[in-house]
Amino acid sequence: MVSQNVVVSDVTTGIITVSTVSNSSVFTPSAQKPPTAPGHISVSKKKLLKSLEINGDQSQRLTSWVDSMRASSPTHLKSLPSLSSEAELNSWLKRHPSALDMFERIIEAARGKEIVMFLDYDGTLSPIVSDPDRAFISSKMRRTVKKLAKCFPTSIVTGRCIDKVYSFVKLAELYYAGSHGMDIKGPTKGFSRYNKDKPSVLYQPAGDFLPMIDEVFKQLVEKTKSTPGAKVENNKFCLSVHFRCVDEKKWSELALKVRSVVNNYPTLKLSQGRKVFEIRPMIKWDKGKALEFLLESLGFDNSSDVFPIYIGDDRTDEDAFKLLQERGQGLGLLVSKFPKDTNASYSLQDPLEVMDFLRRLVEWKQIQQ
């Protein structure tokens, strides 16, 4: 059984106390009893992505993995006629219409309810860039998010560590869920009207994995240092290996290096995002669980008067989209210029459209007040 650390700061003194809570329910059986044989990773079978098993034919496995890496590249996506065709795009937009075009319908669905905002960072609030350390948010977007947080409880849910994303956003009035929701922190006391009567909560369901994550980080840095352009990022409770700047001819080699390290840790899982490998603890926790926890922290766990809106662009955001779909509350908005299989209801093309949508929400709220 693995313990979870729940850190709560006293409202009046601001002193942080730590209590350890045992809760084996958040861990999968494989996390409680690691298999003796090497584990396996899986990549969801989307329209262009093939399933990849660790055990199996080496060449076929590697080919599938590299195909998946290519498919995650916007450059390659643009070159695929079946995806870029106007007919397919129009068909996809009928199923996932623009949230800007459908703004009035969204507002009508939210009328009489408390809107709660959840925002991914990379590709949603900031553009995807070659150097992940330079994924800066624009001053216009920062001002927009600041105004948004005055109107609605607002959270950033990201694969980044909290310290890194906060250094980009610099807004103390937001809720932050870093490491794909495995590191949750409320607004700084006195900065948000939504938590003025509540203690600030820091929730870390994967606290016991920290030593392992640090160990794997060092191994990955050493293993990938001979691959030009590869960058390993320590997100505290998870790791990212970025290959956006790696020559495509080196992708096979990099995939093998990353997998050779992760194979030695059966309680960690390897997945792939937009030109990035993600290594995370194998626990029952994701961005959807983080969304659920934040709603509960805000007092909306059993409320029918809440309307969560989650905006994100990555595969990891699908857990949150799916949760909202299952709850029958709120909406998921996928940020993408290309057709993708998704549980989101609506779409936005890029961070500029995200900013436009957020501004319209703020304007609507201000008219209501």
Average pLDDT over residues 267-296: 94
279-288 pLDDT, tens digit each: 999 999 999 9
Name all domains of the chain by residue range, CATH numbers in brackets. Answer: 3-71 (no CATH), 87-205+285-368 (3.40.50.1000), 208-281 (3.30.70.1020)
Model confidence at 55: pLDDT above 70: no
Question: pLDDT category, 108, cuts 50, 70, 90?
Answer: very high
Contacts of 326 (CB under 8 A, 6+ apart): none
Average of per-residue pLDDT values in the chain: 82
Average pLDDT over residues 270-289: 93
Q: In the chain, where do the E strands start and end?
A: 3-9, 16-22, 114-119, 154-157, 175-178, 183-185, 201-204, 231-234, 239-242, 268-273, 276-281, 306-312, 331-335, 346-348
Average pLDDT over residues 345-364: 98
Model confidence at 60: pLDDT above 90: no
Which pLDDT value is given to residue 67? 63
- String of DSSP letters for 222-272: HHHTTSTT-EEEE-SSSEEEE-TTS-GGGHHHHHHHHHHHHTT-TTEEEEE
From residue 344, alpha-carbon distances to 4, 114, 256, 351 in Å are 31, 20, 33, 16
Instruction: Say how far apart CA 344 and CA 228 lie, in whole Å.
Output: 36
15-48 pLDDT, tens digit each: 333 333 333 333 333 333 333 333 333 333 343 3
Nearest Cα residue to 72 out of 126, 140, 128: 128
Average pLDDT over residues 239-259: 94
How many CA atoms, within 13 angstroms, populate the side-chain half-sphere of residue 27? 21
